[in-house]
């Protein structure tokens, strides 16, 4: 595979580099434990386990997860030791240890690693045997060792996963454009969406919108403690700006769907004014959809003439829609205010992405 293709694949799929880093660190952790000898050599697999737990695309995230996991392990181990002191049958001791561990695991201190508390309790009670402290030290200590190696590799080779966020934003813009065009077709064909249809349209945006938000948050966290972050600061800032713009766009389109999907709206009336308004609404929606497809995500980057033309056309179409909506709202005594509301929503969309 050419170097450029490999680089592109890593940018698009940061988990590939993450997997490679995790594998290397796990191998190193295994080798280090083998050289230590002593009782820890009986449990060498916990060091690679610590690597798997701690390694992520974020240095800060790796450190947080490692600390939570090791804290949970030692907490569970202490619970097991305390339970073993009590004169209880094996089954009762396990039941008590797991129950208390499950309650302790809900503490915010352990975050997503809380489940490791009862796991550690169970392992120490069953595998620790006559030397629970020795097993607990090997379990927690080797996990911490592996986590430290994983963090060290993350610090040496940090990641800043911007491309997945950009691709997700591109998909969401495409969905927004598709929905505007579908609404425009429905207006011109007289095909009023049923409540179930327009609710389905609104819900269709939610998964991709959440995906964009998650990826942008991940990229933002990856900048912390990342010595490579200043190099990509401008691109990372653009991703965050685009995320905010997409949130506004999604809200605009959601508002438009709700208004157009209302079968009782005067926009769907059977008269010349309503017909002209529907035509102007459809024109503006298509123009905004075309703008979304043509304008690249780089808000501060130079645009090609076609993209500039698309923005100008969308702006003019929305201005015409707003003017017509204002006129008919006056003539109709406020009956066409929903059309004016749609014009405002489309104006917000143009401003958000122009």
| Distance separating alpha carbons of residues 182 and 150, to the nearest angstrom | 49
Question: What are the distances in angstroms from CA 294 to CA 24, 56, 290?
Answer: 42, 35, 6
Contact 50, 144 (CB under 8 A): yes
pLDDT in tens, 205-236: 777 777 777 766 666 666 666 666 666 666 66
With a cut of 50, say whether residue 198 has pLDDT above it. Answer: yes
What count of other Cβ atoms lies within 10 Å of the Cβ of residue 2? Answer: 7
- Reading the block at residue 26, the tokens are 């796990």
pLDDT of residue 10: 46
- Banded pLDDT at 258 (limits 50, 70, 90): confident
pLDDT (0 to 100) of residue 179: 84
> What's 271's DSSP letter?
S
Q: Is the pTM of this model over 0.75?
A: no
User: Over the stretch 76-93, which tens digit does the pLDDT of each residue have?
Assistant: 988 988 888 888 887 888
**Sequence-distant (≥ 6) Cβ neighbours of residue 186 within 8 angstroms:** 192, 193, 260
Asked if 143 and 50 count as a contact pair (C-beta separation under 8 A), the reply is: yes
As a whole number, mean pLDDT of residues 325-337 equals 69
pLDDT tens digits for 276-298? 888 888 899 899 999 888 876 55
Looking at the chain, the whole-number percentage of residues with pLDDT higher than 90 is 6
User: How many CA atoms lie less than 13 Å away from 305 in the CB half-sphere?
Assistant: 0
Measured CA to CA in angstroms, residue 212 lies from 235, 240, 256, 262, 347 at distances of 15, 10, 21, 29, 23
pLDDT of residue 6: 44
- Those residues whose C-beta lies under 8 Å from the C-beta of residue 35, and which sit 6 or more positions away, are none
Q: What rounded mean pLDDT belongs to the chain?
A: 78
Residue with tokens 């304008």: 295
Is the pLDDT score of 302 beyond 70?
A: no
> What number is the average pLDDT over the span 306-315?
87
**106: DSSP letter:** T
* 320-to-181, 279, 317, 323, 340 alpha-carbon distances in Å: 18, 12, 5, 5, 11
Mean pLDDT, residues 150-163: 76
- Whether residue 178 is predicted with pLDDT greater than 80 in this model: the reply is yes
* CA pair distance 86, 95, nearest whole angstrom: 13
Q: How confident is the model at residue 130 (pLDDT cuts 50, 70, 90)?
A: confident
Find, among 148, 140, 150, the residue nearest to 73 by Cα.
Answer: 140
Q: What is the model's pLDDT at position 225? A: 62
Q: Best-predicted range by mean pLDDT among 52-56, 140-144, 340-344?
A: 140-144
For the residues 30-55, what does the mean pLDDT come to? Answer: 82
Distance (Å, whole) CA 93 – CA 175: 55
For residue 333, what pLDDT is reported?
57
pLDDT tens, position by position, 13-24? 666 777 888 888
**Band of residue 301 on the pLDDT scale cut at 50, 70, 90:** low
What are phi and psi for residue 330, nearest 5 degrees?
A: -70, -45
């Amino acid at each position: 595979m050419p170097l450029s293709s490999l680089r592109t694949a890593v940018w698009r799929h940061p988990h590939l580099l993450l997997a490679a880093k995790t594998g290397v660190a796990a191998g190193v952790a295994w080798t280090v434990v083998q050289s230590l000898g002593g009782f820890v050599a009986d449990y060498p697999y916990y060091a690679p386990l610590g690597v798997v737990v701690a390694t992520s695309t974020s240095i800060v995230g790796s450190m947080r997860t490692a600390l939570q996991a090791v804290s949970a392990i030692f907490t569970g181990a202490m619970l097991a030791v305390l339970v073993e002191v009590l004169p209880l049958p094996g089954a009762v001791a396990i039941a008590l240890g797991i129950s208390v561990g499950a309650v302790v695991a809900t503490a915010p201190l352990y975050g997503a690693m809380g489940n490791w508390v009862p796991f550690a309790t169970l392992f120490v009670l069953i595998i620790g045997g006559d030397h629970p402290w020795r097993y607990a030290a090997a379990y927690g200590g080797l996990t911490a060792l592996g986590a430290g190696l994983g963090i060290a590799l993350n610090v040496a080779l940090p990641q800043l996963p911007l491309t997945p966020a950009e691709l997700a934003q591109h998909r969401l813009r495409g969905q927004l454009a598709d929905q505007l065009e579908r609404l425009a077709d429905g207006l011109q064909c007289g095909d009023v969406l049923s409540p179930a249809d327009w609710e389905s349209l609104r819900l269709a945006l939610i998964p991709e919108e959440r995906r964009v938000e998650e990826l942008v948050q991940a990229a933002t966290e990856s900048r912390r403690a990342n010595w490579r972050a200043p190099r990509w600061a401008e691109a990372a800032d653009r991703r965050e700006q685009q995320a905010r713009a997409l949130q506004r766009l999604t809200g605009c389109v959601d508002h438009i769907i709700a208004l157009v999907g209302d079968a009782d709206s005067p926009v769907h009336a059977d008269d010349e004014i309503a017909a002209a308004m529907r035509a102007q609404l459809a024109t503006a929606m298509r123009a905004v959809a075309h703008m979304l497809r043509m304008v690249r995500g780089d808000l501060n980057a130079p645009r090609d003439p076609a993209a500039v033309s698309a923005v100008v056309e969308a702006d003019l179409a929305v201005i015409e829609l707003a003017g017509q909506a204002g006129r008919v709202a006056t003539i109709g005594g406020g009956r066409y205010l929903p059309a004016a509301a749609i014009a405002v929503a489309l104006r917000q969309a143009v401003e958000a992405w122009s």
